[in-house]
Structure 1
Amino acid sequence: MCLQKESRVLDAPKIKNDYYTNLVDWGKNSILAVALGPEIYFWNSVTTDVSRLFKVNGNNYPTSVSWSEDAKYVATGFVHSQLQIWDAETSKLVRNLEGHAQRIATLAWNNNRILTSGGHDKSIINHDVRARRNEVLRIKTHRAEICGLKWSKRGNLLASGGNENHVYVWDSNKMNSSNFLHCFKEHTAAVKALDWCPYDSDVLASGGGTDDRCIKLWNVQRGTNICSIDTKAQVCGLQWNRHYKEILSGHGFSTSPEHNQLCLWQYPSMTKVGGLDPHTSRVLHLSQSPDGLTVVSAGGDETLRFWDIFGPAVNDTRESSVLGNLLSMKASQIR
């Protein structure tokens, strides 16, 4: 099964075609934050209004963006190692956070107070955004750049993926450089894509880069691999369907004719339900709307494409999510 129509398309000029960045995040306030070259833009999915948060000068540019859980603040990491927090309502810079020596590729919030950042300097830092001295914990266990970070829904577990191909799982109450719950070494390429299962808190999904191409599911309670699926393409993003047992993957470079795809998989069988291939370049980022019904994909082709792929919430007797009835709309610019 292959779908060809999206519900909306926005142009995203100057979005970086860089696997090791995280440039799109959809907040609980229905505002999509996206980094386009040296600028951060907001797109309101309710009103369709567009606004620019800021533009940086020189050769600096954002390499990561992440909304706080209450969507009052948006954090941005930069290629020159700065980390900033902005007030979304006033569009004012709230504070600068120190700690990294190189680019900050990934960010993850925990309970609005702790912001976790991962950098090219191989460090994971927990920042208390309300404390005068923001750095409360520094971990340097990964042997290469931190590509992905994801806190569990309860905020008790952190997953981190690195360019040395490892996935670490950390207990928030016991975190330090030598005290991790698990280190999974089965991937054979960088791990950027991470997502916690919304209906089984013990299950973590991870996706590997070009030389790996696998989606792996882990039981973090037992420390075991549940399954591994060779997708035959670089895995750039993962998003669980909150309304039905499925997971969506975004892909890049491929060993097969099918590349730059979005793929939907049933859970727990990991049977492929269908595929989408609208992007003319790799699907670098995925993010999900607050209601969990729509996913946005950001491609190296400088487009944002919106998919009503997860459908309305229904009971678990259906066989698959709503994949049809997608409308095609003329592309408009985000700025």
Structure 2
Amino acid sequence: MQGRSNSAQQNMLSDLYPLTPQRSCSQTPLLKRTPSRATLSISQSSKKKRRFSIPNFEFEATELRASPASEAAVEETDADRFLAVRGSTTLPLNTTPRTNRVAKSFGLVDDRVLNCGETSATPAQTKVRSILRRCASELFNTPRTTSAISAKSNLAVRKQFIMALDGPGISLNLFASPMAWSHSNCIGVAFKLNVYFQNLDTRVIVRLCGVPAADGMVHSVDWGGTANPHILALGTTCGIVQTWDSLTQMQITDWSDDDSPVGGIHWNGNMLAVGRKDGRVSLFDIRSPRQVERVEGHRRHVIGTKWSPDGRCLATGDQSGSVHVWDMRAGGHVTANDRKVLMKHEGPVKAISWAPWQNGLLATGGLFPDGKIQLWNINKSNSPLTIPTETNVTALHWSPHCKEILSTHGLSWEPWHVIRRAEPPAKQAPRTPFSNSMTVHAYPSCDKIVSVNAHSAPIGHACIGPDGCSIFTVSPVEETIKMFKVWSAPAGKGKDDEGMSYKCAIR
């Protein structure tokens, strides 16, 4: 019965697929295979015979016989990876004259597509497949576009300053804050015993005030923010604190009952925070003739003060590197997870900046021997993000329009100076990518976006404009003040910088 069945199948296959006279298809492996549905349907239905046109195929026993070694190990081939390789199949694909015409029109008639077997691809075919696969992968890749707000589209494109001011006599003290930019677009600068300001809209330069030599040099200045844009506060090295009206050029208040030298100062509405050398922070109200409150917690000179954008918290940094955050409504330190928020640098901290678009995000920068930028979240007690620079970090400013932060830098130092805690040499200091530069970093990746050598000498201080796009930097050694456009404001915001002069003098 087995022999008769095999003979019948052989006769059926010979009727459907006549073989060539030179070759025979009577091998045992072929005859033992089970007929497919296509064969049965063709042999049983006369209607389907008229619809199918199957070409002649030549079968060889050597191609159909599977070796034991090929079943044990899988070998890499050059066949198309999107088609299954069936080298031992006994039947062809169900092709018709119509499918052949369609395949030819699309260029698919070749031995790789219609004959699912392994063929050796030529180098030209391999190259074409690589090109096609690369083109297909590019369709799924979304190209990154640079935002027009980012510093990569502004400062990185034009690295030159757009305004320069002469600044002879600016304090060389690294802890000083001798420059501020008002919301009425006036730049105020302290020159030894005097304070000058220039209206950047009218270009008028005015000497606002001066202090006696007995009161010390003007150490820090700051404008009154959005609440009092025409009021400027100054503090001297002998503890004098005064406020002046730039419109009338008249003195408003004089808080001179404290002889402790002034450090950093910053406005919050009608409240002025003043850091002192003995570690105190004095709080003054412009409506009161005397100090209204004092905050104690530092042990060294408080050289950095900054109110949060909502006016709730005050961050202060001292000469020893300690940073405290005060909750002025609660009358004490800010706490996170029932712990005081205390931050520490290895060097003095003057540069402090709050992010205007995220509550509780604070950036601090350390001077020698620290040289690091740390990004803190005061609402969490986790470790900060750190950007090592090995230079003096003199100022920090967040962009109000995008998640980027700008830092200004001074001298750098050798690693052995940090170990010995020695003073870095002023003339022999080595240069690093951050030396005397103005650098913009991305948040939270901390990647460097652009770095510009703003001055040929160390940058002592910097202030941001009312539009949140431009920065003024000052180099006391170079005696120059420069303005750079770092960011762009979104559509409908910011001021136009066209028409600004490229060179003018403030004195």
TM over 0.5: yes
Query: Equivalent residue for 2:447?
Result: 271
1:320 maps to what in 2? none
Deviates more, 1:10-19 or 1:247-256: 247-256
Q: Is the 8 A contact 1:156 1:173 kept in 2?
A: yes
Give the structure 2 partner of residue 30 of structure 1.
185
Pairing of 1:189-228 with structure 2 (within 5 A): 189-228=347-386
The one-letter amino acid of 1:333's match is A
1:147 counterpart residue number:
303
Match among 490, 493, 498 for residue 313 of structure 1: 490
Shift in Å, 1:3: 6.1
For 1:206 and 1:326, the matched residues in 2 are separated by 33
Give structure 1 stretches of 5+ with no counterpart. 316-324
1:12 aligns to what? Answer: 167
Higher Cα radius of gyration? 2
Give 1:102 deviation, angstroms: 2.2
**Shift, 1:79, TM fit:** 1.0
**Following TM superposition, by how much is the alpha carbon of 1:88 offset from its aligned partner in structure 2, in angstroms?**
1.7
Match for 2:503 among 306, 328, 331?
331
Unaligned runs of 5+ in 2: 1-155, 414-429
Residues 328, 54 of structure 1: CA spacing in aligned structure 2 closer, same or farther, 3 A cutoff? closer
Q: What is aligned with 2:275?
A: 118
**Which letter does structure 2 place at the counterpart of 1:287?**
C
CA 276–84 in structure 1, closer or farther in 2 if over 3 Å, else same: same
Change (3 A) 1:96 1:327: closer
**Distance (Å, rounded) in 2 between the aligned partners of 1:203 and 1:175:** 20
Counterpart residue identity of residue 330, structure 2: K
Tell me the distance in 2 between the aligned counterparts of 1:158 and 1:97.
Answer: 21
Match of 1:318 in 2: none
Find the aligned partners of 1:218 and 1:145 in 2 and give their Cα distance. Answer: 22
**Which residue number corresponds to residue 172 of structure 1?**
328
SS in 1 for 2:184: coil
Q: Shift of the alpha carbon at 1:57?
A: 3.0
1:3 and 1:210 map into 2 onto residues whose CA distance is 31
* Distance (Å, rounded) in 1 between the aligned partners of 2:341 and 2:364: 13
Structure with the larger RCO, 1 or 2 (CA within 8 Å, 6+ apart): 1
Equivalent residue for 1:234? 392
Measured against aligned partners, the alpha-carbon deviations of 1:43-88 in whole angstroms (never above 9, x if no partner) come to: 1111221111012232522111111123131111011111001112
2: CA distance between counterparts of 1:110 and 1:213?
28
Deviation at 1:184, TM superposition (A): 3.0
Deviations along 1:264-298, one digit per CA (max 9) or x if unpaired, are 10111110011111312211111111111111011
Distance 1:72 1:223, change over 3 A: farther
Contact 1:161/1:192 (CA < 8 Å) preserved in 2? yes
Match of 1:129 among 286, 291, 299: 286
Does the 8 Å CA contact 1:100/1:121 hold for their aligned counterparts?
Answer: no
| d(CA) in 1 for partners of 2:170, 2:295 | 30
Whether the aligned pair in 1 keeps the contact of 2:341 and 2:378 (CA below 8 Å) is no
Counterpart in the other structure of 2:466: 290
- Which stretch has the larger CA shift, 325-334 or 283-292? 325-334
Please identify, of 151-160 and 101-110, the stretch whose mean Cα deviation from structure 2 is larger. 101-110
* 2:460 counterpart SS class: strand
What code does the residue aligned with 1:128 have?
A: D
Please state how far the C-alpha of 1:4 moved relative to its aligned partner.
Answer: 4.3
User: In the alignment, residue 392 of structure 2 is paired with which amino acid?
Assistant: Q
The AA in structure 1 aligned to 2:258 is H
Contact 2:240 2:258 in 1 (8 A): yes
Residues 1:328 and 1:28: Cα distance change in structure 2 (over 3 Å): closer
Q: Does the Cα contact within 8 Å between 1:5 and 1:327 map onto a contact in 2?
A: no
Partner of residue 157, structure 1:
313
Number of aligned residue pairs: give it. 322
CA distance in 2 between partners of 1:151 and 1:92 (Å): 26
SS of equivalent residue, structure 1 residue 84: strand
Aligned counterparts of 1:135 and 1:234: Cα–Cα separation in 2? 33
Describe the SS at the equivalent of 2:175: coil
Q: CA deviation at 1:311?
A: 2.2
Establish whether residue 39 from structure 1 lines up as the match of residue 194 from structure 2: yes
Q: SS at the partner of 2:385?
A: strand
Cα distance change of structure 1 residues 304 and 15 upon mapping to structure 2, 3 Å threshold: same
Whether contact under 8 Å (2:182, 2:230) holds in the other structure is no
Is 1:257 aligned with 2:431? yes
User: Aligned to 2:230, which of 56, 72, 77?
Assistant: 72
Counterpart amino acid of residue 315 in structure 2: A
Q: Quick one: distance in 2 between partners of 1:13 and 1:185?
A: 36
Any conservation in 2 of the 1:8–1:307 contact (CA below 8 Å)? yes
1:299-322 Cα distance to aligned partner (Å, 9 max, x none): 12211110011123269xxxxxxx
